[in-house]
Amino acid sequence: AAAESTLAETLRGLSLTTPLPKYPNCYPEVNPVDVYRSHLTSILTEVTGVDAAIIYPALQWTQTLEKGDLVLPIPALRVKGKKPAELAAEWVAKFPESPLVHKPTVAATFLQFFFKVDKLSEILIPSILKQQTFFGQNPYLGLKDPGDSSKGKKRIIIEFSSPNIAKPFHAGHLRSTIIGGFLSNLYEGAGWDVIRVNYLGDWGKQYGLLALGFEKYGNEEALQVDPINHLYEIYVKINKDLTAEKEEIGKLEAEGKDASHIKNEGLDEQARRYFKAMTDNDEKAIAQWARFRDLSIKRYKETYARLNIHFDDYSGESQVKQERMDFAADKMAKMSVSEVSEGAVIVDFSKHFPGKAGKSLERPIIKKKDGTALYLTRDISEMMQRDDKYHFDKMMYVVASAQDLHLKQLFAIIGLMGYPELAAKCQHINFGLVLGMSTRKGTVKFLDDILRDVGEKMHEVMQKNQAKYEQVENPLATADILGISSVMVQDMSGKRINNYEFNMEAMTSFEGDTGPYLQYAHARLCSITRRAGLTPAEIATANLSLLTESHAQNLIRVISQYPDVVQNTLKTLEPTTILTYLFKMTHTLSSSYDHLRIVGSERELMLARMALYDAARVVLNNGMRLLGLTPVDRM
């Protein structure tokens, strides 16, 4: 409401009528560019005679400022009988004088609109300084009814990270964590009710084996101190024993000797029995497993906190109820989705979808010969469980593209089982591989190893500039944050689907579009603010019409795009959409410093420039936090 009244005042000051006409997806209180869309739509309905409902959504934002601030593709207005060039000439001639935009220019079949930047800064900068951390967010988008907040928010489940207990946290989990954290922030900022789910790999015979391993190799103290590494060590050792046992059986049988005593009493059989006890809810077995799980989660939480990530629900394969799986199995059999083949239950997709489509989905097993359920079986029931528990409007699975087939099979089976609407609400957010992910101490096993290593590297980099280093209050903590930023920014630089090379040197460099560069840009803005020593109240009195230099004007125009960039990101679902923008903005910024000095300028000019830098800092800070980074004030 506060932002709304400031906007109304500003618009009155510009002698524009308020309230602005309402269009769907037009939110001038949170997106200043929507003031322009709305204003242009009013003018263009007069000029072209086309309906506002067609014009408004046709006004597009641009990636490059040379093309204008908004463009209109003339064919989008679907005016018959005249060529776009004729229409353009006609409309430009009729275009009235406006306080907000210059007369449009024509480029091919587009009308290009350039904002009058003096007015833009009067609308934009106060709006940013007022909204602060909220600038760029749009709480209306996630409303069930955008016109009526009492109807509540739409709900999205974002399932991400999902590591496997006692196994390495590999690159796939790292990317899922980074991308999932980002998507959660994005949807939260768009006003959705976001449920973050971590679907742990925590069930199966291997967890019976792990318990046996703990009896043999476990150490209570080590478990308490470092559960993740200790469980992994045990897991590796006991798996070695298992391999040796299998070799022994092979050897005996090759020699024609009896191996049944090993088969009946060996590790593999014991693990099977232990896991059977777990599925039968045997108190002792369950208690031991639950301890491993709880201690691991506790440690995961600490690591996630360093990445600004939390989960609302630590679900996992173990949390899928047996009744659910029985119900699903029944349903699949009754509806002839599944069939028995060589004693196992399978889904033969070629029988459900003709041609290539069916073939490409293959013939997944739903239940093994011995009756055990599988990864896919659990995912089917887990999805239905979540549907019941959360009544979500949308669900995203942030999982490596190595599991494309698995998720396609999952969604297809849910559809065949008679829940096509449920399947349609689900989306697989996939991503490529990280190549060569190793630290200086060898191949990576756990997220903590990576973070520690890049943190140490950044600490070395920081120490190269002793003078600055000495000013940083807590250099180790800062190095840690910078290290995390390095990893995250490298991960988010390309499109999700692309593979990339894990490159410690490149990611920790200040040259190029890296995490440290972005952090440096932020710290520099903070330092300008500190040195100017002006209060927000003083800055609020700035005379923004003094921002006349082309560098100032370009910066204002770039900054004004931020809410549109965020909204566009809801379509691309790519962190790189935000990141590319932030680099564009910081480049514009760094080329401005020499032209827009604070120190040595007259007070009036100082105030105006400070307001601009403040607005830039808010946008950079918001963008970084949206990505999951922690902006630093000094480095």
Give the Cβ contact number of residue 174 at 10 Å. 23
Which one of residues 42, 131, 164, 377 is an interface residue with ligand ARG (CB under 6 A)? 164
Q: Which amino acid is at 447?
A: L
Site for ligand ARG in 187-246 (CB under 6 A): 199, 201
The phi, psi pair for 511, rounded to 5°, reads -85, 140
Bond before 19 cis per omega within 30 degrees? yes
CB of 199 to ligand ARG, least distance (A): 5
Annotated catalytic residue within 39, 153, 154, 167:
167
b/e map 25-55, b = 16+ CB within 10 Å? ebbbbbbbbbbbbbbbbbbbbebbebeeebb
Q: Is 170 a catalytic residue?
A: yes
CB of 282 to ligand ARG, least distance (A): 24
DSSP 183-230: HHHHHHHTT-EEEEEEEEB--SHHHHHHHHHHHHH--HHHHHH-HHHH
Site for ligand ARG in 365-404 (CB under 6 A): 379, 397, 399
Give kind and range of the element (H or E) at residue 627.
helix 603-627
Query: Which single residue brings its beta carbon nearest to ligand ARG?
Result: 201
Asked if 455 is part of the footprint of ligand ARG (rule: CB under 6 A), the reply reads no
In this structure, are residues 338 and 366 in contact, taking their beta carbons and an 8 Å threshold? yes
**Segment lying near ligand ARG (by CB under 6 A), choices 66-74, 157-165, 508-516, 616-624:** 157-165
Residue number, 201 or 475, with CB nearest to ligand ARG: 201
Give the Cβ contact number of residue 414 at 10 Å. 24
Q: Which amino acid is at 270?
A: Q
Which one of residues 48, 162, 318, 592 is an interface residue with ligand ARG (CB under 6 A)? 162
Asked if 514 is part of the footprint of ligand ARG (rule: CB under 6 A), the reply reads no
Residue number, 382 or 491, with CB nearest to ligand ARG: 382
Residue number, 158 or 416, with CB nearest to ligand ARG: 158
Annotated catalytic residue within 170, 367, 425, 522:
170
CB of 424 to ligand ARG, least distance (A): 17
Alpha-carbon gap, residue 68 to 62, rounded angstroms: 7
Residue number, 202 or 574, with CB nearest to ligand ARG: 202
The tally of CA atoms less than 13 A away on the side-chain side of residue 337 is: 21
Site for ligand ARG in 103-122 (CB under 6 A): none
DSSP 293-307: HHHHHHHHHHHHHHT
Residue number, 437 or 585, with CB nearest to ligand ARG: 437
CB of 382 to ligand ARG, least distance (A): 7
**Segment lying near ligand ARG (by CB under 6 A), choices 27-35, 158-166, 252-260, 624-632:** 158-166
Q: Is 205 a catalytic residue?
A: no
Site size with ligand ARG, rule: CB under 6 A: 8
Beta strand 500-501 with 434-435: parallel, antiparallel or unpaired? parallel
Tokens of 287: 């208690």
Annotated catalytic residue within 119, 173, 230, 367:
173
Asked if 41 is part of the footprint of ligand ARG (rule: CB under 6 A), the reply reads no
Asked if 36 is part of the footprint of ligand ARG (rule: CB under 6 A), the reply reads no
Beta partners for 73?
110
CB of 229 to ligand ARG, least distance (A): 18
**Segment lying near ligand ARG (by CB under 6 A), choices 92-100, 123-131, 156-164, 542-550:** 156-164
Asked if 364 is part of the footprint of ligand ARG (rule: CB under 6 A), the reply reads no
Asked if 160 is part of the footprint of ligand ARG (rule: CB under 6 A), the reply reads no
Pattern 309-348, ligand ARG, x by CB under 6 A: ----------------------------------------
Q: Which amino acid is at 172?
A: G
Q: Find, among 346, 343, 348, 347, the residue nearest to 370 by Cα.
A: 343
Alpha-carbon gap, residue 251 to 423, rounded angstroms: 49
- The secondary structure of residue 510, as a DSSP letter, is S
CB of 320 to ligand ARG, least distance (A): 10
CB of 418 to ligand ARG, least distance (A): 21
What is Dmax (Cα atoms) for the chain? Answer: 98
Residue number, 319 or 372, with CB nearest to ligand ARG: 319
Count how many residues are written for the chain. Answer: 635
600: left (phi over 0), alpha (psi -120 to 50) or beta: left
Residue number, 399 or 632, with CB nearest to ligand ARG: 399
Cα dihedral value 540, 541, 547, 548, nearest 10: 150
Q: Is 391 a catalytic residue?
A: no
Residues with catalytic annotation? 167, 170, 173
Q: Kindly list the residues in this chain that would bind ligand ARG in the complex (CB under 6 A).
A: 159, 162, 164, 199, 201, 379, 397, 399
